[in-house]
């Protein structure tokens, strides 16, 4: 069984969404943060991981070389980081937004909205709060007035 298929059995759709939005560690997932899990997984799927990196990562230098530099050549850390990077890259594929950026902004917005993500905030996308406030006014020297979306009677004067 491929590593991708194994991971699909482990993680649910919401898990993939959180890994995509926040990264593996920040998403709260912990299964693949341990060397004792990742090193045997890397050893078993080394070719698949390296091929995936070559196919999906389009940086100036190969991703595995960057990982080796980050891990300062420690082979255990290299294998652990490689599995985590594989999971994060694969999360992009699972949610339908390729890491390589080969998607139009419109298709990216559609994919994000299908995940329940609607607006940009602090570099990430979050759903708008229920009490979203909209300001109304014009560029012709008028005063700004606060209107709340749920306050339709005030807006319509009824």
Structural domain boundaries of the chain?
A: 3-126
125: confidence class by pLDDT, cuts 50, 70, 90: very low
135: tokens are 């300001």
The residue count for the chain: 158
**Residue reference for tokens 């082979």:** 75
pLDDT at 126: 45
Token readout for 127 is: 């759903």
Nearest to 81 by CA among 91, 93, 92, 70: 70
pLDDT at 35: 76
62-110 residue pLDDT tens = 888 888 988 888 899 999 989 988 988 898 888 887 776 677 777 777 7
CA 40, CA 46: separation in Å to the nearest integer?
10
pLDDT of residue 29: 73
**Residue partners of 99: CB distance under 8 A and separation at least 6:** 56, 57, 89, 92, 93
> Which of 33-42, 112-121, 140-149 is least confident?
140-149
pLDDT over 50 at 134, yes or no: no
Whether residue 148 is predicted with pLDDT greater than 70 in this model: the reply is: no
Structural contact between residues 127 and 116, judged by C-beta atoms closer than 8 angstroms: yes
Reduced to 3 states (helix: H, G, I; strand: E, B; else coil), residue 146 is strand
Which of 17-26, 88-97, 121-130 is the least confident region? 121-130
pLDDT at residue 27 tops 90: no
């Amino acid at each position: 069984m491929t590593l991708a298929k194994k991971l699909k059995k482990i993680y649910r759709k919401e898990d993939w969404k959180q890994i995509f939005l926040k990264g593996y560690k920040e998403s709260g997932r912990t299964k693949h943060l341990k060397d004792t899990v990742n090193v045997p997984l890397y050893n078993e799927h080394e070719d698949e991981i390296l091929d995936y990196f070559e196919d999906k990562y389009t940086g100036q230098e190969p991703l595995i070389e960057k990982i080796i530099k980050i891990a300062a050549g420690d082979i255990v850390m290299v294998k652990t980081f490689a599995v985590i990077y594989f999971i994060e890259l694969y999360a992009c594929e699972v949610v339908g937004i390729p890491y390589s950026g080969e998607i139009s902004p419109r298709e990216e917005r559609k994919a994000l909205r299908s995940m329940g993500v609607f607006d940009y905030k602090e570099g990430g996308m979050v759903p708008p709060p229920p009490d979203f406030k909209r300001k109304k006014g014009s560029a012709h020297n008028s005063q700004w007035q606060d209107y709340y979306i749920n306050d339709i009677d005030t807006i319509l004067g009824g």
